[in-house]
Amino acid sequence: MSNFEISVLFFLQLAFILIVCRVVGWLAKRLGQPQVVAEMIAGVLMGPSLFGWFLPNAQAWIFPADSQGLIYAVGQVGLVLYMFLVGLEFDTNLIRNRLRSAAWVSLSGILVPLALGCILGYFLVRSSGFFSADVVVWEAMFFVGASMSITAFPMLARIIYERGLSGTSLGTLALAAGSIDDGAAWCVLALVLASFSGDPMIAVFAIGGGTLYAVGTLTIGQKLLKPLGILAEREKGVSPTLLTITLIFVMLGAWFTDRIGIYAVFGAFIMGAAMPRGRFAHEVQRQIEPLTTTLLLPIFFVYSGLNTSISLVDSFWLWGIVLVVLLAASVGKGVACWAAARFSGEDNRTALAIGTLMNARGLMELIILNIGLQRGIITPLLFTVMVIMAIITTLLASPIFERVYRRPADLENALAAKSLSSAL
Amino acid sequence: MSNFEISVLFFLQLAFILIVCRVVGWLAKRLGQPQVVAEMIAGVLMGPSLFGWFLPNAQAWIFPADSQGLIYAVGQVGLVLYMFLVGLEFDTNLIRNRLRSAAWVSLSGILVPLALGCILGYFLVRSSGFFSADVVVWEAMFFVGASMSITAFPMLARIIYERGLSGTSLGTLALAAGSIDDGAAWCVLALVLASFSGDPMIAVFAIGGGTLYAVGTLTIGQKLLKPLGILAEREKGVSPTLLTITLIFVMLGAWFTDRIGIYAVFGAFIMGAAMPRGRFAHEVQRQIEPLTTTLLLPIFFVYSGLNTSISLVDSFWLWGIVLVVLLAASVGKGVACWAAARFSGEDNRTALAIGTLMNARGLMELIILNIGLQRGIITPLLFTVMVIMAIITTLLASPIFERVYRRPADLENALAAKSLSSAL
């Protein structure tokens, strides 16, 4: 297809994606699921698992292989802008007050699922069909370990965001622990990839560069970015020039972290966290948010769905494996985080909510799995098994969260968040 | 390059594009040129004409051929959203009051340049090097005629927009005449393409479908869209769902008009014009505008620049041709529109301003030229000659406009526009 043809089709794809996401979102709302879960499922429905299964020709016509690069890249831009917004709302003061809890939750949120994942990986690599032949045992173990430790960071952020919990201690604790765990999981993945490709520099770049970027941006970067906040106060708003400068930093951060191998979402999130607060943050959010969440982000959810094919899991034995993976994932992440939060002094309600949110794998999981699949570490079968685990843990998050974290307190927190954001 | 590699590079490209556009924009501002002209020139500078000429390796590294499809498609989305915003501000009441002027200006704005272009095309097709060998004389004539009749519609809209003239009679008259002329020019182009490809259905689809779309959207469509405005009033704002529904209509309109061959910008513009006014239009604009104008639209300006190579015009004779083309274009469009506006009773100041704005060719010209080049009608040489004409007529627009349409009255109009938009 020519550039022009792909571009013409892209308008139809956008219309189609927006329609499906809203229809599924409307149904999801009635079942108590947030829009974000709806968009994740809508993505799978638009792929070979449903639309492509019933109407393969129509699916191939609307989403030809030639257009997947475009969908991927635009979805990534949407995701990066979204994670920047999440970082912009991230309150580092709250994390300082909760340092003890955050440390415990994130530590158990990485160690327990990593350990369980390694055990599971050990058994999976011994039966055939899950890993490619050139994978060494420890690589398989740590790959499953890393993908068990993942939290649906963008999804967790969106659930917290949609409920107006961004400024609350629950929201901050979950975001902090989630981001630390995901960061650690990506480092483990980098080690596996480095070993698998035989290039130790991959791990050095990812872990060293990532640490350098995070520390540099949050210290020197934060100081260098201060003038943006002062300008916004002086100009009583964020001018197009100021917004452009901000976007330049976001794009550079995203590029750098992608380049060194720890994924653009972290670069964007950390850049957002380093930005000045007050009028600047408030205005930038107001200007970036609408088009990002309604138009660009749903495209990201579609890409992974296009690469998921549930029909690969076609026997009782395989569904048994799915069940074991699901149990190991939920015990490793959800139960461990709940226990850690309780242990460090949080009340049971908050601890349950944190365990539930941390257990959702969402699309972060899909990203790791896609890398594993593309690099030839895992087979399409293990890919699909893990995708089903990701969808179920994510689907469970909202109803359980809703149960343990009910309306009255919810409202209270939302009000506290409101007064916080209006005080900016 | 893999999808992942292109996506990583895209972040760097975005940062680079935003930086260059802002630096050139800062320089342009000091020379009295608007940001939009700066972005058009920035696009050419980033292409083979400057960046690629001095640093071919660096240029090929930042803008590899593999990534051009992505740049094109995202730029198109930016352009479509932008034209939708322009349509959203388009005041059909003002055009009714100025129907006589609009009719005369648009009529002479299409007939005179078409005639001059046909004469020029007749002589150009007789010397070799400008058209491909299989072009029939009348096709060459009407291709040059159509590209002479083009107005920089998105650019004209942006200049009017940047100066706060969207609601004024000058702004409305220029937008109306510009859109009618561009529409007519695209119909002529459709005839040429139909003849060249030997398929009369191309012209039937473009002209018939375009008329049907415009009339249908502005009558039945407008009625069907009314509930959106009522919902916005009731909900005291535009919710994400409402914004998504709006975007679905925009994307479908863009897809349809692209599909039938009259280009997505018209579909988006007409959809914008058909949308409810008042709080709905105001809120939708507020939500879509920032990211569209700062991030997405500049990408559109880059694509054409990447395909322009000024070094092809390498002799005195060719620069002579450029001069003749430039003169014919300016007399055919600028002088004719000024005369028509005077004739229909506008004061000299308004008439001069209209002639100047209508004479700017901008990127609309580049789009027609790109189609001609891709289809094999014109050679890279004629392409570049016409691009230079487009850039010069566009560069001239602002200083002359500034001269004839000075501050005091400008301010007056801006204030009138302000009170209009705050009345919404």
Give contacts of B206 with chain A, Cβ < 8 Å. none
Q: What pLDDT is attached to residue A92?
A: 67
Q: Residue A31: pLDDT above 60?
A: yes
Q: What pLDDT is attached to residue A424?
A: 33
Q: Nearest chain B Cα to A73, which residue? A: B7
Give the whole-angstrom CA distance, residue A89 versus residue A81: 13
Contact assignment for A3 to B73 by CB distance below 8 Å: yes
Q: What pLDDT is attached to residue B30?
A: 87
Contact assignment for B76 to A247 by CB distance below 8 Å: no
Q: What pLDDT is attached to residue A94?
A: 64
Q: What pLDDT is attached to residue A327?
A: 92
Q: Nearest chain A Cα to B259, which residue? A: A8
Q: Residue A165: pLDDT above 60?
A: yes
Among all chains, which residue has been given the structure tokens 């380049």?
A259
Q: Residue A418: pLDDT above 60?
A: no
Q: Residue B424: pLDDT above 80?
A: no
Q: In CATH terms, is domain B74-418 a member of 1.10.569.10?
A: no
Least confident of A109-113, A292-296, B21-25, B166-170: B166-170
Reported as a single tens digit per residue, the pLDDT across B395-406 is 888 788 878 876
Give the whole-angstrom CA distance, residue A140 versus residue A123: 10
Contact assignment for B4 to A293 by CB distance below 8 Å: no
Least confident of A113-122, A179-188, B325-334: A179-188
Q: What pLDDT is attached to residue B413?
A: 52
Q: Predicted confidence band at B44 (pLDDT cuts at 50, 70, 90)? A: confident
Q: Residue A412: pLDDT above 90?
A: no
DSSP state of B378: B
Q: What pLDDT is attached to residue A87?
A: 84
Q: Can you tell me whether residue B236 is helix, strand or coil?
A: coil
Exposure of A138 in the CB half-sphere (CA atoms within 13 A)? 6
Q: Residue A241: pLDDT above 80?
A: yes
Q: What pLDDT is attached to residue B419?
A: 37
Distance from CA of B137 to the nearest CA of A (A): 27
Give contacts of B77 with chain A, Cβ < 8 Å. 10-11, 14, 74
Which residues pair with residue A131 across a beta bridge?
A378
Contact assignment for B258 to A8 by CB distance below 8 Å: yes
**CB interface of B with A, residues 254-283, below 8 Å:** 254-255, 258-259, 264
A206 vs A216, higher pLDDT: A216
Contact assignment for A252 to B11 by CB distance below 8 Å: yes
Least confident of A110-119, B300-309, B312-321, B382-391: B300-309
Give the CA angle between residues A37, A38, A42 to the nearest 5°: 120
Long-range (24+ apart) CB contacts under 8 A made by A126-132 are A129/A379, A129/A381, A129/A382, A130/A378, A130/A379, A130/A381, A130/A382, A130/A385, A131/A377, A131/A378, A131/A379, A131/A382, A132/A376, A132/A377, A132/A378, A132/A379
Q: Residue B119: pLDDT above 50?
A: yes
Reported as a single tens digit per residue, the pLDDT across A331-351 is 888 899 899 888 888 888 888
Distance from CA of A349 to the nearest CA of B (A): 31
Q: What pLDDT is attached to residue A408?
A: 46
Q: What pLDDT is attached to residue B94?
A: 64
Q: What pLDDT is attached to residue B345?
A: 82
Q: What pLDDT is attached to residue A406?
A: 64
Q: Nearest chain B Cα to A286, which residue? A: B287
Among partner residues B4, B241, B290, which is closest to A243 by beta-carbon distance?
B290
Reported as a single tens digit per residue, the pLDDT across A128-137 is 788 988 888 8
Exposure of B230 in the CB half-sphere (CA atoms within 13 A)? 6
Q: What pLDDT is attached to residue A423?
A: 33
Query: Hey, what's the torsion of the CAs at B266, B269, B270, B271, to 10 degrees?
Result: 120
Burial label for B162, CB within 10 Å (0-12, 13-18, 19+), is middle
Mutate to test the interface with B, among A7, A81, A286 (most CBs of B within 10 A): A7
Q: Predicted confidence band at B195 (pLDDT cuts at 50, 70, 90)? A: confident
Structure tokens at A48: 């070979």
Q: What pLDDT is attached to residue A417?
A: 46
Strand ranges in A44-113 using DSSP code E only, listed in sequence order:
none
B231 interfacial to chain A (CB closer than 8 Å): no
Least confident of B49-53, B157-161, B295-299: B157-161
Contact assignment for A255 to B8 by CB distance below 8 Å: yes
Q: What pLDDT is attached to residue A95?
A: 67
Distance from CA of B100 to the nearest CA of A (A): 36
Structure tokens at B233: 């009033």
- H helices of A334-379, in order, are 336-343, 348-359, 362-374
Give the whole-angstrom CA distance, residue A385 versus residue A397: 19
Least confident of A68-72, A383-387, B138-142: A383-387
B27 interfacial to chain A (CB closer than 8 Å): no
Averaged pLDDT for residues B24-44? 84
Least confident of A55-64, A379-388, B181-190: B181-190
Averaged pLDDT for residues B115-139? 89
B281 vs A210, higher pLDDT: B281
B204 vs A57, higher pLDDT: A57
A305 vs B415, higher pLDDT: A305
Q: Residue A387: pLDDT above 80?
A: yes
Reported as a single tens digit per residue, the pLDDT across A350-366 is 888 888 888 888 767 87
Report CA A32 to chain centroid distance, whole Å.
Answer: 21
Amino acid at B373: L
Averaged pLDDT for residues B35-45? 84
B292 interfacial to chain A (CB closer than 8 Å): yes
Helices first, then strands: H and E counts in chain B:
23, 0
Burial label for B191, CB within 10 Å (0-12, 13-18, 19+), is buried
B61 interfacial to chain A (CB closer than 8 Å): no
Of A67, A117, A288, A68, nearest to B288 by C-alpha is A288
Give contacts of B8 with chain A, Cβ < 8 Å. 255, 258-259, 264
Structure tokens at B361: 């060719």
Burial label for B188, CB within 10 Å (0-12, 13-18, 19+), is buried
Averaged pLDDT for residues B125-147? 89
Distance from CA of B341 to the nearest CA of A (A): 35
A293 interfacial to chain B (CB closer than 8 Å): yes
Structure tokens at B127: 């010397």
Q: Return the CATH number of A76-292+315-413+417-421, one of 1.20.1530.20, 1.10.10.10, 3.30.930.10, 1.10.150.110.
A: 1.20.1530.20
Neighbours of B2 (CB within 10 A): 11
Give the whole-angstrom CA distance, residue A329 versus residue A13: 34
Averaged pLDDT for residues A221-233? 93
Give contacts of B288 with chain A, Cβ < 8 Å. 290-291
Mean pLDDT of chain B: 84
Least confident of A370-379, A404-413, B373-382: A404-413
Least confident of A49-63, A271-285, B126-140, B149-163: B149-163
Q: What pLDDT is attached to residue B279?
A: 92
Give the whole-angstrom CA distance, residue A376 versus residue A370: 10
Q: What pLDDT is attached to residue B406?
A: 63
Reported as a single tens digit per residue, the pLDDT across B77-112 is 998 998 898 888 776 666 676 777 778 888 888 899
Give the whole-angstrom CA distance, residue B148 versus residue B286: 35
